[in-house]
């Protein structure tokens, strides 16, 4: 601990703002990881010094928080990357950013609590309370972000702390007071904007998103946070509700439910129009410069995040089929290549395909299932992972995709998956040889819903990632017949697969 080096309060470097500033000069500026780690330790040390006057603690905390922002931004770009990084580096980044966010959130909330309790120096920061409160909410959002990106359980104290901050700002009338969180940040914010941003983004469904899309959706919602409003009265535009007397995550509006004065209602009537305007620009393959995404991202990735938010705003997801509490034993393999190799799918790979994992469902329906599985050390399973599934006693394999996931107190993963098909047929893709073609003749794929009906002229094909092309037809042989597949459209682009729809016709022998 740094306290062992710094000694007593009388000679404590954090007791004086100039000596605190001098510590920043010793940071290894070319090593963002080490610099952020040292600043995290300094903030932890500051939080332990209850003897310092409140105005001094706030000044030093702001000093360290602002100094950390360049390092945070650099590590955020590395962590929320659209490219695959090795698991060691991913975990290293997550630990550093996660610890930083927790320490900063704790530090701001401790100062807020001390202010409410009239600690020494409280009167000196009265004018800065809107900034203190907004900073506390903002840091809680980042704490949530790293928790959800690792599929961890959320500390419920966040909701209790958030309501304390909101109630104080509402009671003293500074909910809408504009503040600038950091020098150089585009535009002002407020306590109401930060609370609305956190709650709408959280409600959009973080346990159904990969870390990249957790980040992108948060950045997009933050850009349009002024379109989110919070009222004491319910209206036709109200979408979410939270209770000032009962700390809990926000819940969806039930228009027929009884309301009471402690309820606050969140609406976003202008959000859909703004997202639709942004989508028009993204469809031109342009990412607007005014949106701060914390890194350079392809228009396609941003477009997918905006479409996800649009779907949420227009029609929040609902469960299509009733799930039943049934224990079903499943053989499970993950990734496109492993599914192809393990299932065989009629492609005669042989029998030496490794050993699948054994899962037991908690709930199951026609369209999906949930299960609790041990968290693997390498963290291979994630949102969007492709699964091959074979229920006990069933001769054939099916296909599913992980849609939701969270880690519980026992470090087990609670996984919810959508079943794409209960039965598959392995096929071999062929095309006329074209120089620079995207696939090679003989590439394996999976035809979904193996019980094909010749009266139906369309079907789904699961292929290796980046195989689908809207301008290329393919040929397959299935059930002893030759088929020409004409592309209809790409339905889903997964981590290592393309799911596409094709129109097909039976070809006569010798027909090309």
Domain ranges of the chain: 1-192, 324-421, 424-507
Q: What is the pLDDT of residue 13?
A: 79
Name the strands in the sheet holding 497-507, side by side, starting at the edge strand that comes first in the sequence: 424-429, 443-448, 458-464, 497-507, 481-493, 474-478
360-385 pLDDT per residue, tens: 888 887 788 888 887 664 457 788 88
Question: Which DSSP state fits 283?
Answer: T
Q: What is the pLDDT of residue 509?
A: 52
Distance from chain centroid for Cα 243: 25
279-298 pLDDT per residue, tens: 999 999 999 999 999 889 99
Please check whether the domain covering 324-421 is classified as CATH 2.40.10.220.
Answer: yes
Reading the block at residue 21, the tokens are: 């500033």
Q: Encode the chain (512 residues) as per-residue pLDDT tens digits.
A: 444 434 444 467 788 888 889 899 889 989 999 999 999 999 999 988 878 899 999 999 999 999 999 999 999 999 999 887 888 898 999 999 999 999 999 999 999 999 999 999 999 999 999 999 999 999 999 999 999 888 887 888 999 999 999 999 999 999 999 999 998 787 899 999 999 999 999 998 887 788 999 999 999 999 999 999 999 999 888 999 999 998 888 988 876 667 889 999 999 999 999 999 999 999 999 999 999 998 899 999 999 999 999 999 987 655 444 456 678 888 888 888 888 887 765 455 444 455 788 888 888 877 888 888 876 644 577 888 889 898 888 888 889 988 888 777 777 788 888 888 888 888 888 875 444 444 556 788 888 875 555 555 788 889 888 888 888 888 888 777 888 888 888 888 887 888 988 888 877 654 44
Q: What is the pLDDT of residue 319?
A: 45
Tokens 């948060």 belong to which residue?
Answer: 218
Q: What is the pLDDT of residue 223?
A: 94
Q: Maximum CA pair distance of the chain?
A: 93
CA-based nearest residue to 200, from 237, 147, 161, 157: 237
Q: How many CA atoms lie within 13 A of 431 on its CB side?
A: 20
Query: Do 362 and 330 touch, CB atoms closer than 8 A?
Result: no
Q: How many residues does the chain have?
A: 512
């Amino acid at each position: 601990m740094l306290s062992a080096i710094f000694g007593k309060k009388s000679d404590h470097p954090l007791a004086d703002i100039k000596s605190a500033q001098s510590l920043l000069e010793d940071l290894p500026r070319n090593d963002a990881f080490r610099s952020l780690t040292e600043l995290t330790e300094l903030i932890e040390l500051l939080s332990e010094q209850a003897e310092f006057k409140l105005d001094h603690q706030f000044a030093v905390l702001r000093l360290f928080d602002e100094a950390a922002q360049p390092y945070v931004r650099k590590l955020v770009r590395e962590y929320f990357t659209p490219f695959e990084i090795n698991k060691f580096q991913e975990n290293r980044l997550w630990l550093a950013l996660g610890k930083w966010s927790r320490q900063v959130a704790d530090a701001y909330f401790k100062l807020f609590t001390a202010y409410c309790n009239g600690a020494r120096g409280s009167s000196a920061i009265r004018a800065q309370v809107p900034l203190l409160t907004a900073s506390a909410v903002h840091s809680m959002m980042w704490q949530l972000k790293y928790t959800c990106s690792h599929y961890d359980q959320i500390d419920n104290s966040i909701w209790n702390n958030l309501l304390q901050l909101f109630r104080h700002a509402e009671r003293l009338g500074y909910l809408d007071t504009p503040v600038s969180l950091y020098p150089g940040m585009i535009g002002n914010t407020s306590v109401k904007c930060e609370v609305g941003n956190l709650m709408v983004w959280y409600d959009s469904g973080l346990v159904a998103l990969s870390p990249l899309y957790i980040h992108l959706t948060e950045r997009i919602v933050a850009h349009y946070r002024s379109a989110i409003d919070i009222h004491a009265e319910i209206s036709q535009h109200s979408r979410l509700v939270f209770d000032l007397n009962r700390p809990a995550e926000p819940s969806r509006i039930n228009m027929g439910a009884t309301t009471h004065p402690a309820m606050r209602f969140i609406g976003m009537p202008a959000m859909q129009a703004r997202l639709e305007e942004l989508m028009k620009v993204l469809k031109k393959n342009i990412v607007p410069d005014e949106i701060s995404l914390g890194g350079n991202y392809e228009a396609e990735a941003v477009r997918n995040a905006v479409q996800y938010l649009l779907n949420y705003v227009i029609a929040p997801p609902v469960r299509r089929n009733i799930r039943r509490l049934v224990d079903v034993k499943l053989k499970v393999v993950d990734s496109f290549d492993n599914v192809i190799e393990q299932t065989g799918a009629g492609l005669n790979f042989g029998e030496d395909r490794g050993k699948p994992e054994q899962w037991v469902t908690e709930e199951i329906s026609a369209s999906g299932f949930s299960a609790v599985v041990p968290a693997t050390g390498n963290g291979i399973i994630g949102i969007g992972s492709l699964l091959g599934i074979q229920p006990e006693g069933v001769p054939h394999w099916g296909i599913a995709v992980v849609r939701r996931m969270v880690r519980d107190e026992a470090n087990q993963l609670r996984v919810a998956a959508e079943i794409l098909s209960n039965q598959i047929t392995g096929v071999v893709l062929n095309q006329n040889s074209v120089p620079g073609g995207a696939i090679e003749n003989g590439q394996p794929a999976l035809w979904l819903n193996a019980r094909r009906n010749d009266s139906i002229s369309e079907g789904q094909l699961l292929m290796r990632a980046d195989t689908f092309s809207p301008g290329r037809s393919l040929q397959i042989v299935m059930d002893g017949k030759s088929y020409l597949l004409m592309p209809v459209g790409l339905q889903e682009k997964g981590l290592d697969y393309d799911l596409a729809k094709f129109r097909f016709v039976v070809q006569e022998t010798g027909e090309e």
